[in-house]
Amino acid sequence: MSPSATSDLPISPSPFRPRILVPEKVSADGLALLTDLYEVDIRTGLAPDELISLIPSYQALIVRSETKVTAAVLQAGRKLKVVARAGVGVDNIDVSAATAQGIIVVNSPSGNIVAAAEHTVALLLATARNVGRADGTLKSGKWERARLVGVEVGRKTLGIIGLGKVGMKVARMAIGLGMKVISMDPYASPDLARQAGVALVEKLGDLLPVVDFLTIHTPLLASTLNLLGEAEFQTMKPTARVLNVARGGVYNEDALLKALDEGWIVGAGIDVFTAEPPAPDSSAARLAAHPKVVATPHLGASTVEAQENVSMDVCAQVLEILRGGLPTAAVNAPLILPEEYRKLQPFVRLVERMGSLYTQHFVGGKGGMIGGRRFELVYQGELAGVGNTRPLFAALVKGLVSSISDSGGRDVNIVNATLIAKEKGIIINETHIRESEGLVYASLVTLRSYGTAGEHGDGQKTQVIDGYVSGRNIYISKLDRFAANFTPEGTLVVLHNYDEPGKIGSVGMVLGKHGVNIRFMHVASLDPETKLELARTQSETASESGVSQDKENGNGNRDPANEALMILGVDGGVTKEVLDDLGKPEGILNVSLVRL
């Protein structure tokens, strides 16, 4: 299985090598993705207090199921950016505490799907044919063939609670064995279930009385803890068998023991327990030792292939996060599906550059501020149909603060972006416009900033930046009132000037004098809507005064309809002296330096 986190960001070793702590055995194939760039410390068998004392030096923590990542651990981990769980469940991680501190928690929701499904089917067959008891008695020298008559699974009914990826895989395998499958899952797609041959029911009461085998594939939440108790077991067939390769605690263990002892059900196949390993004399221990139970020590994901898969998956995500990219399975943020990731990645770069361009051009170049302003991200066209735009929100926050923060925005991620925006006094709203009539591009992103009139000394209440993606390339198509078409990368000099003969030559001479090379130049004129508005205003002014009027703008009497932006991509050091010299000629209204 290939890593599920990908990026266009270049890999370049840094003199400062972030440290990654691995306190459990994790497949070396995944760790190999990290060892060239980061210091990976494998320290197995750490006691809780040892983990707390060590964690302040690390930027990432990779665990499986044994290490308890408590609030105390997370609070001590002042440098932590990510906690990665090499597996599915995150019961051993205080996700709320991580979120409060802006730490991303990732897992591998798909790396062990096949392993978990196959183990479920293995337990199903083992309970049906009494494999556990038969093996034990034969090893003890007994021959109890007559007492161990089993049942066939073909033509029997399997009930599945939770028709997610593992549940669906189990369903398809069971159908292959000739079983009838019914499921209860309020979030399942009826169309997908129908295509797979699975019948959906709405309530447990419709499921439990009719199944011969029952398996549960849900996370352990408040709503699923002790989902099946005494009352539920009593509604099942006395010949029914239950399976659990999901999470201990979904079945109430005391109730399950009583159900087996009272004959409410005939058997169980259990791989997970509320405490692992089960404490002596606990309900979990009595359940594991029960003669009607086939018990395994949490082997659902214990295959060579699954361990490699989850290791590759989470290590790829750790790599991506430490490089400033996006995870694909953040537990404390919306899941980014691979197809969404591929679609969003270029737009994430675009929106981050738009935010950085805004801060450097409108704030740095004109003496304004971003705190207290209200921003709006407008998605038009195909992009408006993407449900999870959290990465775009985070990218905007990162771009807005990158040029004014000590970390360069590297501390912003999809988990803490909202908190950082709030701290900076930034308000961001998102608008989706699916209609694409009149839209030149498949998708268009617009960034609008609202503030008080005259805040930037130019009488403009609202600033606008438009951008689009073509292939893997990103472009800015509008900068404030000016129609443009340039790639937002590298060092840019943006001149707001009157479009008059000689301007380009004078700018070239200044840059040449200072040894600054021009890579590209783009002249952006006023957009048609602004030109019409200016023409209407001038017409009204002339009509009121009876004479033709030109608007005074501090550079002589010039027609504001002739304003333009000159956008230069340059190589070389652009100092304050260079910017001052560029702003000296008559007709130059403003000069800003943007580094992207």
Active site residues: 247, 276, 298
**Closest of 51, 53, 55 to residue 20, by C-alpha:** 55
Q: Which residue has the tokens 């900076």?
A: 424
113-128 and 131-139 are packed helices; what angle lies between their axes, rounded to 10 degrees?
Answer: 70
Q: Which residues pair with 41 in a beta bridge?
A: 21
How many whole angstroms separate alpha carbon 324 and alpha carbon 12?
13
Cα diameter, the chain: 116
Give the start-end residues of each E strand in 117-259: 157-161, 180-184, 199-201, 213-216, 241-244
313 within 8 A of 111, measured Cβ to Cβ: yes
Separation between Cα atoms, residue 147 and residue 150, nearest integer Å: 9
Residue 240, classified by CB atoms within 10 Å of its CB into exposed (0-12), middle (13-18) or buried (19+), is buried
Count CA within 13 A, CB hemisphere, residue 467: 25
Cα dihedral 107/160/300/28 (nearest 10)? -30
Measure the CA–CA gap between 158 and 182, rounded to whole angstroms. 6
Return the amino acid letter for 432.
H
In angstroms, rounded to a whole number, what is the distance separating the alpha carbons of residues 112 and 303? 8
Residues 206/177, Cβ–Cβ less than 8 Å: no
Give the up-direction half-sphere exposure of residue 8: CA atoms within 13 A in the CB hemisphere: 13
Q: How far from 477 is each of 1, 80, 225, 446, 520, CA to CA, in Å? A: 39, 38, 53, 10, 16
- E strand segments, 186-313: 199-201, 213-216, 241-244, 267-270, 293-295
Q: Which amino acid is at 114?
A: V
